[in-house]
Chain A
Amino acid sequence: KNQVEQSPQSLIILEGKNCTLQCNYTVSPFSNLRWYKQDTGRGPVSLTIMTFSENTKSNGRYTATLDADTKQSSLHITASQLSDSASYICVVREDTGFQKLVFGTGTRLLVSP
């Protein structure tokens, strides 16, 4: 069964510190992987997209990595800000038919002052 698992479930860090969120998936065949940020009370917003051939991609203070061999991705946040407090969802797209999206359960990040 195609699944996406994220860790940790929740994380609290001090403002200014760095953190790394993990995503492991079993989705096959693989098309691409996105990291979404979901603020409380809002819909998810895409941060980055990774394809099979990409290892690293940055978007400001967010850096995503992908290891397609081990089926792992990470999202690294540097110099965290209070506005980074949100849920981060890893979403993997199947490379079949309609190319269904498989969502992870997310990591809830709280950045405290």
Chain B
Amino acid sequence: DTAVSQTPKYLVTQMGNDKSIKCEQNLGHDTMYWYKQDSKKFLKIMFSYNNKELIINETVPNRFSPKSPDKAHLNLHINSLELGDSAVYFCASSQDSGGLFYEQYFGPGTRLTVT
């Protein structure tokens, strides 16, 4: 069974459109994350939710809005897409955010291409 799943795997869209990426984890974890991996393969955290509450919000444009309907889901909605939004977006989850040895489990990624 897939631990952290994301849909879609690929997303090609035009500038100005609004799109969503869905993420689900079946590990029973309390904390979920969204990361952006740019063309240089650098992973940067965007958001983190713990038990449906936002706990990390890095300097991300407000066009990006995470939504956590329940502990197992963290969706990412992007308004007015721009060329610079093209990247691979990874969802991840962990048992908690503060345990010393907590490990983040990553989804397979969603490759977003904005044309």
Contacts and interface: CB of A to CB of B under 8 A. Distances in A.
Interface of A: 31-32, 34, 38, 41-46, 49, 51, 87, 89, 98-101, 103, 105-106, 108
Contacts of B48: 98
A32 B101 contact: yes
A44 B106 contact: yes
B109 A49 contact: no
10 contacts: A42-B108, A43-B4, A43-B92, A43-B105, A98-B56, A99-B98, A101-B45, A103-B43, A106-B41, A108-B41
A103 B44 contact: yes
A105 B106 contact: no
Nearest to A45: B106
A87 B48 CA distance: 24
Contacts of B56: 98, 100
Contact of B97 (A42, A99, A103, A105): A99
Interface of B: 4, 40-45, 48, 55-56, 90, 92, 97-98, 100-101, 103-109
Contacts of B101: 32, 49
B100 A51 contact: yes
A34 B103 contact: yes
Given A32-B100, A43-B92, A98-B55, A103 B42 contact: yes
Contacts of A44: 43, 90, 106
> 4 shortest A-B CB distances, which residue pairs?
A43-B106, A103-B43, A105-B42, A44-B106
Nearest to A42: B108
Contacts of A103: 42-44
Contacts of A100: 45, 56
A32 B99 CA distance: 11
A105 B90 CA distance: 15
B55 A43 contact: no
A50 to B, nearest CB: 11
